[in-house]
A and B are shown apart, each in its own frame.
Chain A
Amino acid sequence: QSALTQPRSVSGSPGQSVTISCTGTSSDVGGYNYVSWYQQHPGKAPKLMIYDVSKRPSGVPDRFSGSKSGNTASLTISGLQAEDEADYYCCSYAGSYTFRVFGGGTKLTVL
């Protein structure tokens, strides 16, 4: 069982928007603004998409955005494209003992 809870799968049609949630506790997601999101295509290494809840690294399309409310962080992908089909993982800092925790991952299917 992963420390952070994500839906196992989401789907959307090209051009639509989807939101992936990541629910933790006040000890991780809710306690710090250190949530990051990673995209992983099959057989590939993860790629950073969002960091510090809502910041986007250089090179990541602005179709990807992040937010947080309470103990739940969210990744929204607007204007879905076929290449967005992948697994997405959230990760949060969880204090000096647990340190870092990942979500179980969400498979995004572009219909």
Chain B
Amino acid sequence: EVQLVESGGGLVKPGGSLRLSCAASGFTFSSYSMNWVRQAPGKGLEWVSSISSSSSYIYYADSVKGRFTISRDNAKNSLYLQMNSLRAEDTAVYYCARVPRISRSHYFDYWGQGTLVTVSS
């Protein structure tokens, strides 16, 4: 069974940093592209970042470019999101999501349950 479990969320002050993790199990993690998607309280989904299976291709939304860094450790079956210079508008539930192992896939077939990040003084 595919499982994605996020952790690392919490309360942080504006300008602070936080590192999110996503532990994957039930599939060959190293073969799949992974993404972070966030959802501000009461708002819609926003794609944040994507990383290919071998970390060769990395993409960011303009809203986080230069502040967030996505990475992965295939040996540990883990996905990460390093978030720096956090702003109030980064407050959201952060989901990790898997992209299927099919050429030219651009959808998310499995999602974690999310971890809440609150940026407030």
Contacts and interface: CB of A to CB of B under 8 A. Distances in A.
Contact of B50 (A46, A47, A100, A104): A100
Give chain A's interface secondary structure class.
strand
A45 B105 CA distance: 20
Interface residues of B, number: 21
Contacts of B37: 46, 102
A37 to B, nearest CB: 9
A111 B44 CA distance: 23
A99 B33 CA distance: 13
A98 B49 CA distance: 10
B103 to A, nearest CB: 12
Given A34-B104, A36-B107, 7 more contacts: A32-B106, A36-B106, A51-B105, A57-B109, A91-B108, A100-B106, A101-B47
